[in-house]
Structure 1
Amino acid sequence: MKTNFIKLLFVAFVSVSLFSCKDKAKEAETSAAEAVIEAAPEATTYNADLSASKIAWKGFKPTGEHYGYISLTEGVLNTTDGEIAGGSFTIDMKSIMVTDIPAEEKGNAKLVSHLSNEDFFDVEKYPTATFKITGIEKQEGKTLLSGNLTLKEATNNVTFPVTVTNTGDVLTLESETFTIDRTKWNVEYGSKSIFDNLGDKFINDDIELKVSLKASKS
């Protein structure tokens, strides 16, 4: 009986491990800030459609996950010969939305308030975050976009795969789902890599993100 129980635990552990590895998005390559690409005089400018652009987010803890969206306040993409050659967008941190809890439930407003206060993003002090493109390259059949992400007075360069579609008048940029380590941007609440007395009350350092940007020729 004891042997069978141990085998059952082992199978359960392996199953959970495989499931977790399979579902975990790849962490974006993160490094020190780099020089931002300046648009050439002949570059074509596309302005973001704010109603059709957003960033999906997901956070994890031992007891589950939460997810939602963040909006943009502005965004510009520049192209040369139809290829992205610079740009930036500004993230409206006050627009944090939770979608895994029904909007009418108290838990929704409570979580939005918690994410917005000093524990997490402190949106009154830091109402916006920015992403400024520093490079784009093709690698192993994928397009990799790099840019400086500035959040809560911290700036790091992140690189992640994107799909870009250019119809001439409309430019869309869709990233693969990726993660960033929030502690690199001074978001430390509930991090067991920062605090050693949390037990199982921690919140994962990784935040999952997916960028969707639609822009029209100006």
Structure 2
Amino acid sequence: MFLKFSKSDILNSPLVYPETGALGYTILTRSHFIRDSDKDSDTESEDDHGENRRTLIFNKLGETIAEIGWKGRQPIEIVIGQEKIIGAKGMFGCSSAILSRNVLGIPTRFDTEYFWMAAPDGLTLLDYDSNQTKGSFHSSSMRVGERFITAPIPSLGHDYLEFEPHPLASTEELIVSFILMEVLRRSRFNLHTDLSDRSKLWRNTPLANWGRRLRRRSI
């Protein structure tokens, strides 16, 4: 299955089928701050404020099929269909994780041979037994035929989700898992976390800096 994020913010974007442009899913995240009413406002510190967000995933009919509750950047509650999971650990398997300096591998809960493999340059779903890639998150990419290439300028690319179906995992579980792993990947490898405006990323590239110098010289 191929799905394209039509907006740069993966937590607030429609997911469309690239071949037709038809809507598949919609991801919407709302944020709000909760203040403890029992605290004295004169002595209350910034740490007493907690940011709570809730990510809702809708199907094409507008029906809610999954939810993620966040406390800061930590997922504290996941709902998939009628199943409620407390904390992110319940979304993953119990076998040993794969840890190295540049790779983080976390087992799935639906197949002991499937691992989410996170690295600074990407996120994949790997069948460890056959060493075959069963899913990928393509960030800031362009689709050329049947393959993806990294966009030369971030603002020109889109994020794509590609995965094969699994008999023991629903599509909504795979989407939720990819979102959780992508947020974890960016945090672990200190990657940019605000993708709401890719033009900011473009303005910081060497090519953009070279272009600004050229314009100044031509004035």
TM-score, normalising length: structure 2: 0.28
Higher strand proportion (structure 1 or 2) = 1
TM-score, normalising length: structure 1: 0.28
